Chain A
Amino acid sequence: MGTTGLPTNLTQGSRTKGGIGESTLRPDGVLKVTGEFAYSSDMWHEDMLWGQILRSTVAHAEILSIDTAEALATPGVYAVMTYDDLPTEVKHYGLEIQDTPVLAHGKVRHHGEPVAIVAADHPETARRAAAKIKVEYRELPVITDEASATAPDAIHVHEGRTDHHIGHVAHPNIVHRQPIVRGDVAAARERADVIVEGEYVFGMQDQAFLGPESGLAVPAEDGGVDLYIATQWLHSDLRQIAPVLGLPEDKVRMTLAGVGGAFGGREDLSMQIHACLLALRTGKPVKIVYNRFESFFGHVHRHPAKLYYEHGATSDGKLTHLKARIVLDGGAYASASPAVVGNASSLGAGPYVIDDVDIEAIALYTNNPPCGAMRGFGAVQACFAYEAQMDKLAAKLGMDPVQLRQLNAMEQGTLLPTGQAVDSPAPVAELLRRVKAMPLPPEQQWLTAGEAPDVRQLPGGLSNTTHGEGVVRGIGYAVGIKNVGFSEGFDDYSTARVRMEVVGGEPVATVHTAMAEVGQGGITVHAQIARTELGVTQVTINPADTQVGSAGSTSASRQTYVTGGAVRNSCELVREKVLEIGRRKFGTYHPAWATAELLLEGGKVVTDAGEVLADLVDVLGDEAVEVEAEWRHRPTEPFDLRTGQGFGHVQYTFAAHRAVVEVDTELGLVKVIELACAQDVGKALNPLSVLGQIQGGTVQGLGIAVMEEIVVDPKTAKVRNPSFTDYLIPTILDTPTIPVDVLELADDHAPYGLRGVGEAPTLSSTPAVLAAIRDATGLDLNRTPVRPEHLTGTA
């Protein structure tokens, strides 16, 4: 049968060593620039059907009836399914709490919740049929904030909760609560010479990856299903999909199709189960591709938050205490909310030394859109608040804001409010020093030789709103702390299968993992690791699938650390086996086989003194060496539910930004001129990719600072801007130059000393921009994104 767009092996050679530390190029680069790289939406199968999801038009309602007769009778329609058609007793899924119905049952809890699914022979037929399904709703009052969620008579968004958090929350509409308590805040408060308080609001951000949710489910002859899908974690999907289908996990064979970005938005399931259900029901391959409108409803968003902060300091600028309360809106389903609460609370004090701390973070159940993972994961919201507080405190003390931060900066050995010591380099003060030392961009770059200014260099850009009038420059700084890897006792392992053999007279390594390559460049790094460890130039990367053990999620800045660690570990095991073969074959010819430390380099076995013992081609001969092994970083432990104490995180990562903005103070329009970043990456395995991560993360932080927000109507809980016309992400004309200063201070606990890179720049970018806008305008801005209304008193 004809199928196109199947993932293929990627084979990459190298003229240089091509190992770690070099900026080798992406093995999928040529496919991506020629249009041949197959994304999940590009898959095609002979006789395939198109799936369509009918979603709720209201946020909170009882479903009185669903009538699918007319839809089913539509020519070209092969199946229509509702909750009643689900094949097994398992009808819910979820990352941590299985609270999300595969299709709505009796009730919808948010705008855009899936109610029914259709399969038809053309997407337009499927759309028309879905529109013919009649759903009768009886609307319920909507719960949209903490007050309405925790009112004594509030409707419980989820009735009869039995999850493991219900025992420690004050109200069933609170998903999870995590206090972090250390020292004696009341006593410390007495020592404070100045106290600053603030209430901060963080808007709902969308991941806005460019490749909408999509996939192809192909029913198999053995009753199982083959699913080609864009996701962040194949095995987590599998664990949730198989029980709903009533299939053992080995009959749901998943392969990673091309992924058009992720940023946390593909941690939860979207259309996976729906496509499989329709494929198994119709016996035909089913493809589902969300359009942009649906994508806004098809994945979770970044938690909007309200944050209440109080910091105290002595008159010389030393922080005395912190009291904070962080309220995250988790929306209708739990998704990753509990872990986001853990991050927001445990990192809520920022990268500062504060001995006396009282932090509480909660996530709510509401009827707003479900929120979960997005780059920065709870630490982003907290950073926005504590960095605003640092500026406020500096102003009140009459101190330089960078100096205040440096004075209180944590360093290696500092105890976090969780009681955990930071046991690797924490160059917070140094990162601030570096961004501050970078040269400032020239002033008034819009001036030209001619009379007319270059409006592209001005706030408003091509819209021609100012020729320099009202434009004021501002500068702001921020620094943040993010954890790397899954925390709180999670068994955060990865698996790598590495094979070495002679192909065409040359030793070749093959790396097979289930790691989701979502654009970050993990596959580039895997090839580099294999070259470094195995001394080969040719490396083949197999498509990621569930035929190999779990790699864990492509999130939490963890893949280079954990799956990179797994690849290195498996390479080491392969190397041992290769050396065993070598000793067996050649050991008698040279004593060094038994006595020296042996390496694989340049296709040869060499001693650590550089003496060549054998060619790998001769050692391997016809033999192939293959190892599949799991690898885990050191364990963490859960935070104590009352005090938040515990060895919760495995690694920390730090970035600092300096933002230079120009604000049209009359119109409230902002142009970010430059966003300089300094970040410690431990060891840059691929410097080019590291820069790409830092710059990309920086711009996502810029987006939430000045334009990005999913707007939810507080009266109806309906999303008002589910489109790229009204949910704005930065264009290339909104984006500044982003000079980056990379530090490499090794973390001795991590493979090669590396530190996760992807998320830290998303933390500090936003508060740096806000600080710069405050500097330019003198306004006390407490929410992000900041809109023109907020800068002109017309909100």
Chain B
Amino acid sequence: MRVNFTVNGRPQEADDVWEGESLLYMLRERLGLPGSKNACEQGECGSCTVRLDGEPVCSCLVAAGQVEGREVVTVEGLAEYAKQRSEHGGCGTDSCNSSRTAGTSLDEAKRWAARGIDSQTGEGGELSPVQQAFIDAGAVQCGFCTPGLLVAADEMLERHPNPSDADIREALSGNLCRCTGYEKIMDAVRLAAARQSEEV
């Protein structure tokens, strides 16, 4: 069958799609977007997390045919998506205006910053704040969980700019990581939140 949908803002058409295929397979094998990862194919690990009409979902559990006419954002489009969002008026929820009651101060967060180290591959390029924070905080090891975590974390920060630690943990509880023990991932999300609130 044929499926037409929008990925990262661009219309896409996939042909000869097997009816049992998942959105994940279609992205990876038909559209040349392997950034979303396949680690369990049963919705337990979150490595394949994408946004479907804005909602974070496991793309392995969305049938390819179900995305006909819908909008998908993958990790490959995350930087552009974040850029568009910041250019079009911030997070778009009224929680932006609420005073800080939780979360991490920027001073605290800066402890995990790169301490003056950059690299050719570590700067430049257009990265979203959460992507940059994952690099700076050391939240990336093998990196297989990273794309899904980034999509989930970015969406959480959009809804909830000043999350408490428990909020972060709850929002990311559908994303397994086997390398980091999650501590640096917590640091990265706190850092991204702190940088984001500094900009606002």
Contact = CB atoms under 8 A, between A and B. Distances in A.
Interface of A: 4-5, 10-16, 18, 22-39, 41-42, 44, 122, 124, 207-212, 258-263, 289, 291-292, 454, 456-457, 462, 518-521, 538, 688-689, 691-692, 695-700, 723-725, 729-733, 735, 737-738
A434 B93 CA distance: 46
Nearest to B144: A260
A34 B76 contact: yes
Interface stretch (B64-72, B84-92, B171-179): B171-179
B121 A29 contact: yes
Contact of B141 (A4, A521, A725): A521
A15 B116 contact: yes
A27 B143 contact: no
B32 A692 contact: no
Contacts of A735: 169, 181-183
Contacts of B185: 732
Given A29-B135, A29-B140, A696 B169 contact: no
A41 B127 CA distance: 24
B131 to A, nearest CB: 4
Interface residues of B, number: 68
B193 to A, nearest CB: 15
Interface of B (DSSP majority class):
loop
Given A29-B135, A519-B141, A733 B169 contact: yes
B178 A456 contact: no
Given A23-B115, A292-B42, A732-B173, A33 B150 contact: yes
Contact of B142 (A261, A538, A695): A261
B40 interface: yes
Nearest to B20: A124
Given A4-B32, A14-B117, A692-B141, A209 B166 contact: no
Contact of B176 (A30, A31, A262, A724): A724
A691 B172 CA distance: 21
A211 B172 CA distance: 19
Contacts of A729: 176, 178
B176 to A, nearest CB: 6
B41 A291 contact: yes
Interface string B158-174: 00000000101110111
A261 B142 CA distance: 5
Given A209-B178, A292-B40, 11 more contacts: A26-B140, A27-B119, A44-B29, A261-B141, A263-B178, A292-B42, A454-B166, A696-B178, A732-B168, A732-B185, A735-B182
Contact of A35 (B34, B118, B145): B34
A382 to B, nearest CB: 23
A210 B166 contact: no
B181 A733 contact: no
B45 interface: yes
B190 interface: no
Contact of B183 (A4, A22, A208, A737): A737
Interface centre among B119, B169, B182 (most CB of A within 10 A): B119
Interface centre among B20, B36, B125 (most CB of A within 10 A): B125
A62 to B, nearest CB: 33
B120 A210 contact: no
A210 B144 contact: yes
B117 A23 contact: yes
A704 B68 CA distance: 43
B181 A699 contact: yes
Nearest to B184: A692
A379 to B, nearest CB: 19
A34 B114 contact: no
B140 A33 contact: yes
Contacts of A124: 18, 20
B39 interface: yes
Given A24-B117, A691-B184, A211 B144 contact: yes
